[in-house]
Structure 1
Amino acid sequence: MNYIDLQIATQSDYPATELFQEWVDAALTTRMQESEIVVRLVDEAESAELNLQYRHKTGPTNILSFPFEAPPGIELDLLGDLVICAPLIAKEAKQQNKLPAHHWAHITIHGVLHLLGYDHIEEQDAEQMETLEIEILHKLNIANPYLEESTQ
């Protein structure tokens, strides 16, 4: 099993630690070694600050992924950090007519895939990443999050 360090820096609602564990484990099923991931749940102000500092974009974002690169000669199982904006996840789930837990699962898995090196800047890479997200979510009995009419 993978290790999750869950940090709560928000007053907003968020899923139980066990759900984060399930989602992270599902995203890491093909990875042979155990990993540690820091999941930090934040409010919009902290998300906006980090988004500006690291991506040079204004405003909060649903998730930021920070892969960990160990210095030469140091071996750690730390895969990286995920920073998730809890109030924004709630807003997006409502706007997209999704169950909040399903949207949390999707965003968490999306972030873990970023830590593994997946990206969605180029269309071909985006298709590969989205296909993998859909497959992982399907194994968790969660519908395709990219369908227009989502009645999850």
Structure 2
Amino acid sequence: MTIDCLNEDSRWDAINLESLALAASNATLAELGHDPQAWDISLMGCDDDRIAALNADFRGKPAPTNVLSWPSDERGADLAGEMPAAPDPADPELGDIAIAYQTCEAEAQAAGKPMADHVTHLIVHATLHLLGFDHEDDADATLMEGLETQILGKMGLDDPYRA
């Protein structure tokens, strides 16, 4: 796995965003049977202002969010709750991820979690989006959340959906 990481906000340096992203994306790919070394992801660590602008431009929602992802290709499943199509090995670029520091920090604090654990969860989540998973309906959300919980558990992290 190659992570092309650009930190626009220097606060990301303190938690080593690139290393967290590498571990999270490698674990995600491996869990789904993909060789992590065969794929590339671009990652931008930014602040709430930057992600709010991106959210407005790409989703029509002019507000900060924790993470956004842009798959390099459409990989979604044809039917809700099914596995998406595997990425094409001829094109190693999976897509782009942007993650916002302030929103992630606030969410981690509100949940009583270490920032690194929360960010790891969000990178697993975003990597699954790059692979064609979504949570638009209940069946897809159940599949995606189950995978997140399974991947994070293997990484030694708690279930982020447990009450």
TM-score of the superposition, structure 2-length normalised?
Answer: 0.83
Residues 63-104 of structure 1 show CA distances to partners (whole Å, capped at 9, x for unaligned) of: 00001139xxxx431100000011111110001111111101
When structure 1 is superposed on structure 2, of 54-63 and 8-17 the one drifting more is 8-17
Q: CA RMSD in A?
A: 1.5
**1:132: how far off?**
0.1
Q: Give 2:162's aligned residue.
A: 147
1:93 to 108, 111, 114: 108
Q: Take 1:121 and 1:50, find their aligned partners in 2: how far apart are those partners?
A: 20
Check the 8 A contact 2:20/2:119 in 1, yes or no: no
1:40 to 19, 40, 44: 44
**Structure 1: 4+ residue segments shifted above 2 A:** 11-15
Residues 103-138 of structure 1 show CA distances to partners (whole Å, capped at 9, x for unaligned) of: 011000000000000000101100000000000000
Q: Take 1:13 and 1:69, find their aligned partners in 2: how far apart are those partners?
A: 28
SS of the residue aligned with 2:11? coil
Q: Take 1:23 and 1:88, find their aligned partners in 2: how far apart are those partners?
A: 19
Correspondences of 1:1-152 after superposition (within 5 Å): 2-14=1-13, 15-16=15-16, 17-29=18-30, 30-32=33-35, 34-69=38-73, 75-148=90-163
Q: Take 2:135 and 2:144, find their aligned partners in 1: how far apart are those partners?
A: 7
> What is the percent sequence identity of the aligned residues?
33
Alignment gaps of 5+ in structure 1: none
